[in-house]
Amino acid sequence: MSLSSSSAQHAATVLAAKLRKLRTDAGMSGRDLAELAGWHPSKVSRIENARRTPSTADIRVWCGRCDVPDQAGDLIASLEAIEGMFVEWREMERTGLKAAQESVIPTWERTRHFRIYSSQLIPGPLQTAAYIAVLLTSLMHRRGLPDDIEEAVQVRVNKQNVVHDGGRRIAVILEESVLRQPIGGVDVMAAQLGHLLSVSILPSISLGIIPLGADRSTIWPTEGFFMFDEAEVTVELVSGHLTVTQPHELVMYADVFTKLARLAVYGKAARSIITSAVAALDE
């Protein structure tokens, strides 16, 4: 397993510390445990220092030798959560972009409150088909994926039904610089910004834009993220897709979103910034 995110690494470190405590509470040295388990002595040290991820079988043996077999279930659940936190793009997209788009549909469908912050791109729920096609085509070429762009675009467009569902709330915070990123050229970007103006007045949408001149003394631009209810946060990294479910981390993301939202402008002021970005396309 590749622990390519600090969040996943932290969770692995916590699991390692729990295993170490079970050993010390049992009054055993690492060498004692390794001998009882039939392992090389270095294995215990590597697991306890989060340099090696234990298997489910390792955890069962560990708990059994420490005379706490009843704790194996919870620790295995923690291991499974860690393994699901970070998925490399090559794994998620190995059959194409359509499947990757479809993989998040269950999360979108069960979510009633979306909180989305973006410092780079217009986020998925508010994208036009043309804007989506440009982004996915770029990903296809960069990652050497099969060409299923047309199908993938349609899946993403279909997912946007959440925007028109009155039973959902979608709060989006954008950096003003996002509006001035010329994705797809003038025509694509002009249509995208026009679409943003249209959806910004929908009752399900709260669109905030952080002006370029906002005072960033208290909170500066960070990684873009999607927050789904109070259940999980997803972050798109260069190397893969990170899912955060640890309660204390969810609180951190919610707090950051609140602070970013305070810097944003809304309503007429937000639409004025979008209109200014449209006008800048002709300059």
Q: So where are the chain's domains?
A: 6-84, 87-280
The pTM (predicted TM-score) of the whole model is 0.77
Local confidence band at 5 (pLDDT 50, 70, 90 cut-offs)? low
Length of the chain measured in residues: 283
Local confidence band at 7 (pLDDT 50, 70, 90 cut-offs)? low
DSSP conformation class of 120 = S
> What's the pLDDT tens digit per position in 22-36?
999 999 999 999 999
State mean pLDDT over 90-117: 91
Local confidence band at 65 (pLDDT 50, 70, 90 cut-offs)? very high
| 1 pLDDT higher than 50 | no
Residue 84 has what pLDDT?
67
> What's the pLDDT tens digit per position in 158-202?
999 999 887 899 999 999 999 999 899 999 999 999 999 999 999
> What's the pLDDT tens digit per position in 44-56?
999 999 889 899 9
Local confidence band at 85 (pLDDT 50, 70, 90 cut-offs)? confident
Q: How far, in Å, CA of 72 to CA of 62, rounded?
A: 8
Mean pLDDT of the chain: 91
Pairwise pLDDT comparison (81 vs 192), residue with the higher score: 192
State mean pLDDT over 87-104: 84
> What's the pLDDT tens digit per position in 110-120?
999 999 999 99
Q: How far, in Å, CA of 199 to CA of 37, rounded?
A: 60
Residue 93 has what pLDDT?
83
Environment class of residue 77 by beta-carbon count within 10 Å: exposed (0-12), middle (13-18) or buried (19+)? exposed
Query: Residue 170, Cβ neighbours under 10 Å: how many?
Result: 22
Provide the edge-to-edge strand list for the sheet that holds 240-244.
Answer: 86-88, 240-244, 232-236, 225-228, 113-118, 169-175, 205-210
Topology annotation, domain 87-280: Endonuclease; Chain A (3.30.870)
202 within 8 A of 128, measured Cβ to Cβ: no
Instruction: Please give the share of the chain, as a percent, with pLDDT higher than 70.
Output: 96
Residue 3 has what pLDDT?
40
Nearest alpha carbon to residue 139 among 86, 168, 106, 100: 100
Q: How far, in Å, CA of 95 to CA of 147, rounded?
A: 10
Query: Residue 126, Cβ neighbours under 10 Å: how many?
Result: 23
Q: Helix, strand, or coil here: 122?
A: coil
| 2 pLDDT higher than 50 | no
Topology annotation, domain 6-84: 434 Repressor (Amino-terminal Domain) (1.10.260)
| 10 pLDDT higher than 80 | no
Q: How far, in Å, CA of 153 to CA of 169, rounded?
A: 23
Query: What is the phi-psi region of residue 154: left when phi exceeds 0, alpha when psi lies from -120 to 50, beta otherwise?
Result: alpha
Residue 282 has what pLDDT?
85
Q: How far, in Å, CA of 223 to CA of 235, rounded?
A: 7
State mean pLDDT over 225-242: 88
Lowest mean pLDDT among 34-38, 93-97, 232-236: 93-97
Residue 12 has what pLDDT?
84
| 14 pLDDT higher than 60 | yes
